[in-house]
Amino acid sequence: MATAQQVKALLKSYSDGDSEHFVSVALQIAANAARSGKGKLAQDLRELVDTIKNRQASGKVSGSVSIARPSGELASLLAASFPKTRLSEMVLDSSTREPLEKMIREYHHHDKLQSHGYSARRKLLLVGPPGCGKTMTASALAGEFKLPLFSVQLHGLLTKFMGEAAAKLYSIFDSMNQTRGVYLFDEFDAIGANRGAGNDVGEIRRVLNSFLQFLEQDDSDSIVLAATNFVGMLDDALFRRFDDVIEYHTPSDDQVKELIRNRLKSFLPKRIAWQKIFAASQGLSHAEISRACDDAAKECILEGSNQIHSTIFISFLTGRQRDGQSDRRSQATE
Ligand SMILES: Nc1ncnc2c1ncn2[C@@H]1O[C@H](COP(=O)(O)OP(=O)(O)OP(=O)(O)O)[C@@H](O)[C@H]1O
Ligand SMILES: [Mg+2]
pLDDT digits (tens, 9 = 90+) for 25-78: 888 888 888 888 888 888 888 888 777 776 665 555 444 334 566 767 788 889
Q: Which amino acid is at 23?
A: V
The answer to whether position 65 is within a domain reads: no
Identify the residue with better confidence: 277 or 178: 277
Highest averaged pLDDT of the listed ranges 10-19, 40-49, 96-105:
96-105
**Residue 185 located in a structural domain:** yes
* Residue 70 Cβ < 6 Å to ligand 1: no
C-alpha pair distances (Å), 58 with each of 51, 62, 220, 221 = 11, 11, 9, 9
Which carries the bigger pLDDT value, residue 262 or residue 178? 262
Q: Is residue 136 within 6 Å of ligand 1 at its C-beta?
A: yes
- Condensed to tens digits (0 to 9), the pLDDT of residues 255-313 reads 999 999 999 988 998 888 999 999 999 999 999 999 999 999 999 999 998 898 888 89
On the 0-12 / 13-18 / 19+ scale of CB atoms within 10 A, 67 is: buried
Co-location of 218 and 190 in the same domain: yes
Is the CB of residue 133 below 6 angstroms from any atom belonging to ligand 1? yes
Smallest-distance ligand from the CA of 288: 1
Cα(114) to centroid(ligand 2), Å: 32
| pLDDT higher than 50, residue 142 | yes
What is the residue with the minimal CA distance to atom 12 of ligand 1? 287
Tell me if 135 CB under 6 Å of ligand 1. Answer: yes
Q: Which ligand 1 atom is the nearest neighbour of the CA of 89?
A: 4
The reported pLDDT for the residue numbered 66 is: 45
* Number of structural domains found in the chain: 3
Decide whether any atom of ligand 1 lies within 6 Å of the 223 Cβ. Answer: no
How high is the pLDDT of residue 68? 63
Q: 286 CB under 6 A from ligand 1?
A: yes
Domain shared by 210 and 275, yes or no: no
Of 72 and 150, the structure prediction assigns the larger pLDDT to 150
Q: What is the per-residue pLDDT for 61?
A: 46
Q: Examine the domain organization and report whether 42 and 77 are in the same domain.
A: no
Q: Are residues 82 and 159 in the same domain?
A: yes
List phi, psi (to 5°) of 126.
-105, 125
* CATH, residue 312: 1.10.8.60
Contact between 59 and 176 under an 8 Å Cβ cutoff? The reply is yes
* 171 and 42 belong to one structural domain: no
Does one domain contain both 187 and 221?
A: yes
Closest atom of ligand 1 to 228 CA is 25
Indicate which ligand has the atom closest to the C-alpha of 126.
1
Nearest CA to ligand 1 atom 7: 133
Q: What percent of the chain has pLDDT over 90?
A: 52
68 part of a folded domain: no
Pocket test for ligand 1, best of 135, 137, 139, 291 (most atoms within 8 A of CB): 135
Q: Rounded to the nearest whole angstrom, what is the distance from the C-alpha of residue 78 to the centroid of ligand 2?
A: 15
Supply the pLDDT for residue 172. 94
Residue 179 belongs to some domain of the structure: yes
Q: How far apart are CA 319 and CA 288, in angstroms?
A: 10
Domain closes at, from 220, 247, 274: 247
290 lines ligand 1 (CB under 6 A): yes
d(CA 205, CA 198): 11
The structure's pTM equals: 0.79
Distance CA 207, CA 190 (A): 10
Measure the CA dihedral 22/24/28/34, to 10°.
Answer: 110
Q: What is the pLDDT of residue 326?
A: 65
pLDDT, position 87: 97
- Name the domain boundary from 217, 247, 277: 247
Please report the pLDDT score of residue 30 as a whole number: 84
Range of the domain at 304: 253-333
pLDDT at 237: 77
Asked if residue 183 and residue 140 are part of one domain, the reply reads yes
Q: Is the pLDDT of residue 228 over 50?
A: yes
Indicate whether 172 and 193 sit together in one domain: yes
Clarify whether residues 79 and 196 are in a common domain.
Answer: yes
CB 194 within 8 Å of CB 233:
yes
Does residue 234 register a pLDDT over 50? yes
- Cβ 229 under 6 angstroms from ligand 1: yes
64 in any annotated domain? no
Rounded CA-CA distance 216/242 in Å is 9
Q: How far is the CA of 319 from the centre of ligand 2 (A)?
A: 22
